[in-house]
Structure 1
Amino acid sequence: MKYFAVFLPMLNQEKSIEYRAQHLQYLEQKRNEGKIIANGRFADGTGGLVIYRVDSIEEVEQLAKQDPYVIQGARGCEIHEWDMDSDSALLR
């Protein structure tokens, strides 16, 4: 498995408010499938971050593009493979 940090920069605040429930429901579904290990918004309101744990860049691209925020144009989508430290608290 690989880890990917997906930045979701704010594009449209009104759409972000409108589609927030759908976005959070989508993330919960993917968390329950074991594909997301962490997520949250930036305190300064500029967007958020989702950490995916999947097999490939192609898989994370597909998942990230299915996020209601991305589909609806509320947020952008910037994907980076992440070499997580094996001692990270996320693994505990």
Structure 2
Amino acid sequence: MKFFAVISHMKDQELSQKYRPEHLDFLKKHYEEGNVAAYGRFEDGTGGLVIYKGSTYEEVEELVKQDPYIQEGAREYEMHEWGTKAEHFA
């Protein structure tokens, strides 16, 4: 299992507010299914970070593209494979 850090940058504040409940439901569902290790917003309001788990970059990117924030144009994302040694993420 690999980890991927996905930074979502604010693109449209109004759309972010509108789709926040759907975005949070999406993250909660995927956290419970084991596809997301951790998530949270940046305190300065510029976006947030999600740590996804998956086998390949492409597999995780397909999941990222299903996030309502991305689908509705509220956020854009930057994705990087993340090498971690943190035991609680394994």
SS of 1:26's partner is helix
Structure 2 runs not aligned, ≥5 long: none
Which one-letter code corresponds to 2:6 in the other structure? V
Root-mean-square deviation (Å): 1.2
Deviation at 1:89, TM superposition (A): 5.9
Which one-letter code corresponds to 1:91 in the other structure? F
Deviation at 1:9, TM superposition (A): 0.3
Matches within 5 A, 1:52-67: 52-67=52-67
1:75 equivalent to 2:55? Answer no
Moved over 3 A (4+): 89-92
Tell me, in whole angstroms, the C-alpha distance in 2 between the residues paired with 1:42 and 1:90: 21
1:91 equivalent to 2:72? Answer no
Question: For residue 30 of structure 1, what is the aligned residue in structure 2?
Answer: 30
Which one-letter code corresponds to 2:22 in the other structure? Q
* TM-score w.r.t. length of structure 1: 0.93
Which one-letter code corresponds to 2:89 in the other structure? L
* TM-score w.r.t. length of structure 2: 0.95
Deviation at 1:77, TM superposition (A): 1.2
Tell me, in whole angstroms, the C-alpha distance in 1 between the residues paired with 2:37 and 2:45: 21
Question: For residue 9 of structure 2, what is the aligned residue in structure 1?
Answer: 9
Could you tell me the percent identity over the aligned residues?
51
